[in-house]
Amino acid sequence: MYIEDTHGLFYQDVVRSLKPHSQCLSIILVNTRSVLSKHLALSTIASICRPSLIMITEAWCTSEISNDSLRIEKYNLFRGDRRTGRGGGTLIYCEQSMCATQFSNPILSQLNDSIWVEIKVVRSKPILVGCVYRPPSSSREYDNMLSNIFNVTANLPFSYKIIGGDFNLPEVSWSSLRGPQRYDNLINSIVTGGWTQHINSPTRSANILDLIFTNNITPSTVHVGHEFPGSDHRIVVCSFDIFPETKRRDEAGQIPMRLYTHADWDLYQHLIRCSNWDSYFSNQSLDAILNNFYQNINSIHDVIAPEKILNFRFPQSDYIPTSFRRSLRKHSIKYYRYHDLSSLIAITSLLSRIEELRNIGLRNKEMQAIHAPHNSGEIAKLFKSRLMNSKTPYPKIIYLDGIAYENNEAICELFSKHFARLYTLENDEVVDFPRKTDECLSDIIFTTHEIDKAVANLKLSNTTGPDGISSVLLKKGGNDMSLLLLKLYSISLSDGTYPNCWKKSYIVPIHKYGPIADINNYRPINITSVVSRVMEKIVKTQIIQYLLSNDLLSPSQYGFLSRRSCITCHLDYFDYITQSIDNGRSVTTLFLDVSKAFDKVPHIRLLTKLQSYGITGNLHKWISSFLTEREQLVKINHQLSSSKPITSGVIQGSVLGPILFLLFINDIVSVIKYGKPYLFADDLKIVYDYGYGDMSVESKIQQDLNDLGDWSEKWQLTFNPDKCGITHLGRWKPIMCLYMYGKLLSKLNTVTDLGITYSDLSFSDHANKVVSDCKRLTGFVLRNFYTQEARLAIYRTCIRPKLEYCALLFSNLRTVDRKKIESVQRFLTKRIIGFDQQVEYVDRCVRLKLEPLWLRRVKCNLFLLFKVIRKHCYSNSSITWENIKSYQLRNHDYLVKVATHRKSIRANFFTIKYCTLWNQLPPEIRCCENPDGFKRSLERHFNMSTLARLKDHNCW
């Protein structure tokens, strides 16, 4: 490989100015102007010199670029990508042995193009290191913010602070600290904060742009070197006489594991059949049956997959084969000692070969996922693994009240206490709840058929629950397993006792959003016994059948029920709104948020409601046992916390929890006198329509809010006023002051509801958000996946569903927004086929076995209309059959009524537009009753030769 002489001099200069593998803190600062194109040069520097920190400005990284493509061996990466627009961005590479974590501060996080890292040092408080890029065209507001950053950072409780970066301040004289008047505020903040700037030589042409500021510390060496290869900025190298604290090797330890690779499942079934189950089937004691069941199953488990103690270490994404590591080390030492250019060439060649081998391995993984039996799941896993590789599965450090917790045991206990605070204690007030039905459900019928069906629906997994049983043991157990479970479930229900060994659940913290080190940004997910989940599934199915057959569930509830979904909720809600606006009325919608709803359901009140809905006898007693005396343990990296009692809630992650919550919140709609409610689990919105100038509507809404407040106080399920709000649609938008718990509700200019973001009924906000997200994901796929098959498979599985979510609203989109949505697939097909190939969009779709998105929307919406008409899904919309006279032609069979309308907002809505299109379908398609048959008929009808009938494609 050819290395320019100037590049060789550059590396020699860096080696002279830096002591490789020194234990003191060493920093390299460089403006790369696209780090991807300079990645090899950075890897070479890291391999030869091993600096503590590599600070990058103008990294030009976006969310399309994965951490894996930026990784450098033995370095952890921290990113400060530009939030909007192109260019800019910062990175910090921290040597892997250092105790370094990203530092989160609400003020520092406001500064775009910056990243902040906290580093532990020996015998001192931690130090703070920040990397900042200030664009040359920065506004006064940005400079004022930067001034505030220097003030705030100077007062943070760190022993030393270091800020480096490209500040683009050539007019400032750093020796005299003077500059143009517009920089007076910034310079004053630097002076009063005790900051010192240490770069006195030009870093780009004749200008000093790349700067190092320190507070309470002075670098031992500072050097401005040659221009970085491919950049017009010189590299800055400095070192400090402080010693970063090194961490012990990453989470190595011995853990018990079972290896199922060579498990003999035929032997497993044989051992189950031949084991002694006499006492199991003859005994009527639940405890004795449980002991017998687990003793026998665990004994058989030990035979087919014995437990072994294995040395466990979390895999590193930047793994390099040992032979390459040795060669890199050998040539790095040789180049450092002798400045031998051949060693530099060898290092560059090795790094290129490592990258090549890595890409081959990635391609192989893609092909394995594509050819897997259930490839859609494997493709989704592969996509998620590459998309989320910047996130660790569990936090390695957590901050609470300014204190950092690092070891797994402390973090587990911290999460355990945090999640336990979510629960509440129920007051002693006795509440009455009138009986809703004379019918009752007091028992559950278990059969081997129902058990086999529930077990078959389990995901095949080797992961065990708190009782040590995994789903694979149930699925591979054969017919005998269902007989064993039948006995266990029947005795449990007849005793009205939920086994104590099932009441223990593991809590896994799942990161939601925001800084990963903030404990408030996690939600708990329960891992419960898989044996229990099978029983819960059967109980839940029969409870739902009972509730629906007796019409006990509110028609306003769309969550957690078959044939009801976010889509049908949106359909009914927007159908009602557009109909009201078309009738000349205005609409106000009240959006209410229940605070921690699933965790705060009081048990005694829930059991009271269950009884009023006719759930009595052994079933009521069993559910009472299911809810009470439970405990949870947080599990992180095979470490368990101490147990905490679960005093309220319906157990998130359980099978039975959602339906119990629906029953608890079911009567909330009965207190709403004036509005029309729409519920999706705990998400409640209430619609009020009224005529122009109707001044009574405000008092009516306030009355409903007061009644809802009384309901929440009675049932101990409170609303969060800060997350509640109102919107107005229609020609008259009155000014309203509405209160909940004495707090004024805010007016929402933009609403995000069940995955749809909108400010008006054109849904442009939703289109822009979806297109932005999907373009980012498409760019990520094109950058980080290497085979055409993988790119198309991931697009079909993970990206296209986002573009098609809630397609029933797309007919209300403007033409320009529909074109934006179609442009995502246009771009993808063009990139895959090649920009040099002059192939029309439709032809590209045919070649890649894709359909235009507008055509898929037409089919999708017609199928939704079919399900509504044929009652395959639940809807309260205004769609009805047309009344046909007996003497009319056969072509008029199975027509739907197209409601009269006056305004375009109604004319373009799903219930009008697609009812009109439905009536244009041939009678043989309209008369289909089977969903699969209807789909096949649509496919035959909407072939490429008949698409001209739809005329303007952009209207769909």
Helix (H) or strand (E) holding 55, with range, is strand 53-57
Evaluated on CA atoms 189, 192, 195, 201, the torsion sign reads positive
| 408: pLDDT strictly greater than 60 | yes
Per-residue pLDDT at 350 exceeds 90:
no
pLDDT over threshold 50, residue 10? yes
CA-to-CA distance for 846 and 857, rounded, in angstroms? 17
Please state the rounded mean pLDDT for residues 779-797: 92
Quote the radius of gyration of the chain (alpha carbons, Å): 32
Q: Which residues contact 209 (CB under 8 A, 6 or more apart)?
A: 31, 166, 167, 168, 169, 170, 203, 233
Which has more pLDDT, 343 or 946? 343
pLDDT of residue 2: 40
Helices (H) and strands (E) in the chain, counts: 30, 30
What is the mean predicted confidence (pLDDT) over 694-718? 95
Reading the block at residue 794, the tokens are: 């991931």
Q: In 3D, which of 390, 355, 363, 389 has the Cα closest to residue 791?
A: 363
Q: What pLDDT shows up at residue 953?
A: 57
**Taking 60 as the threshold, does the pLDDT of residue 944 lie above it?**
no
SS3 (DSSP) at 758: strand
pLDDT of residue 246: 81
Q: What integer best gives the mean pLDDT of the chain?
A: 88
Report the pLDDT value the prediction gives residue 188, as an integer from 0 to 100: 94
Cβ atoms of residues 757 and 342 within 8 Å: no
SS3 call for 774: helix
Residue 71: its pLDDT value, please?
A: 86
Starting at the earlier edge strand, list the strands of the sheet with 210-215.
Answer: 100-102, 114-119, 127-133, 160-166, 210-215, 195-197
- Are the CB atoms for 42 and 240 separated by under 8 Å? no
Mean pLDDT over residues 202-229, rounded? 94
3-state secondary structure labels for all residues of 789-837? HHHHHHHHHHHHHHHHCCHHHHHHCCHHHHHHHHHHHHHHHHHHHCCCC
Q: What is the pLDDT of residue 250?
A: 47
Cα-flanking dihedrals φ and ψ of residue 193, to 5°? -80, -5
Cα separation, 69 vs 825, in Å, equals 25
Residue 587 pLDDT class (50, 70, 90 cuts): very high
pLDDT band for 833, please (50, 70, 90 cuts): very high
pLDDT value for 950: 52
Round to whole Å and give the CA distance between 497 and 505.
17
Domain ranges of the chain: 5-240, 256-343, 558-601+662-754, 764-955
How do beta strands 53-57 and 25-31 pair? parallel
Describe the chain by its helix, strand, coil percentages, rounded to 5: 45, 20, 35
Residues 646, 469 contacting (CB under 8 angstroms): no
Cβ within 8 Å of residue 145, ≥6 positions away: 110, 111
Q: Is there a common fold for 5-240 and 558-601+662-754?
A: no
pLDDT at 426 over 70: yes
Q: What is the pLDDT of residue 115?
A: 96
Q: In 3D, which of 326, 394, 327, 319 has the Cα closest to residue 362?
A: 319
Q: Looking at 645-696, list the stretches that DSSP marks H as alpha helix, in order from N- to C-terminal side.
A: 657-665
Q: How far apart are CA 483 and CA 485, in angstroms?
A: 5
Segment 487-501, tens digit of pLDDT:
999 999 999 999 999
Which residues face 240 on adjacent strands?
A: 25
- Whole-structure pTM over 0.75, yes or no? yes
Task: For 800-823, write each residue's pLDDT tens digit.
Answer: 999 999 999 999 999 999 999 999
More confident residue, 481 or 40: 481
pLDDT reported for residue 631: 94
* CATH fold for the domain made of 558-601+662-754: Alpha-Beta Plaits (3.30.70)
- Model pLDDT, residue 326: 82
- Region 879-902: mean pLDDT is 72
pLDDT of residue 485: 96
- Report pLDDT digits (tens) over 126-159: 899 999 999 998 999 999 999 999 999 999 989 9
In this prediction, residue 487 carries a pLDDT of: 95
Least confident of 347-356, 417-426, 585-594: 347-356
Cβ atoms of 258 and 270 within 8 Å: the answer is: no
Cβ contact 167:142 at 8 Å: no
Average confidence (pLDDT) over 628-651: 90
pLDDT of residue 312: 57
Measure the CA–CA gap between 226 and 202, rounded to whole angstroms. Answer: 11
pLDDT in tens, 682-692: 999 999 999 98
To the nearest whole percent, how much of the chain has pLDDT over 70? Answer: 92
Phi, psi of 904 (to 5 degrees): -65, -30
For residues 150-178, give the mean pLDDT: 94
Residue 388 scores a pLDDT above 80: no
Six-digit token string for 289? 């049956």
Pairing type for strands 725-729 and 586-593 reads antiparallel
pLDDT, tens digit (0-9, with 9 covering 90-100), for 851-872: 999 999 999 999 999 999 999 9
Class of the domain covering 5-240: alpha beta
Sign of the alpha-carbon dihedral angle for 593, 594, 596, 597:
negative
Residue 887 is predicted with a pLDDT of 46
* Residues whose CB falls within 8 Å of the CB of residue 701, separated by 6 or more in sequence, listed in order: 588, 590, 674, 675, 686, 688, 726, 736, 738
Kindly state the DSSP code that residue 412 receives in the 8-state scheme.
H
pLDDT at 838: 86
- Under the banding of pLDDT at 50, 70 and 90, the label for residue 353 is confident
For residue 264, the tally of other CB atoms under 10 A from its CB is 12
Residues 621, 618: Cα–Cα separation, whole Å: 5
Does 288 have pLDDT greater than 70?
A: yes
At 1, the pLDDT band (50, 70, 90 cuts) reads: very low
Question: Computed from CA positions of residues 603, 608, 612, 614, in that sequence, does the dihedral angle turn out positive or negative?
Answer: positive
Percent of the chain with pLDDT over 90: 62
- As a whole number of angstroms, the longest Cα–Cα distance in the chain is 102
Q: Which CA distances in Å does 661 have to 410, 458, 664, 934?
A: 33, 23, 5, 36
Contacts (Cβ under 8 Å, ≥6 apart) of 501: 290, 294, 466, 467, 529
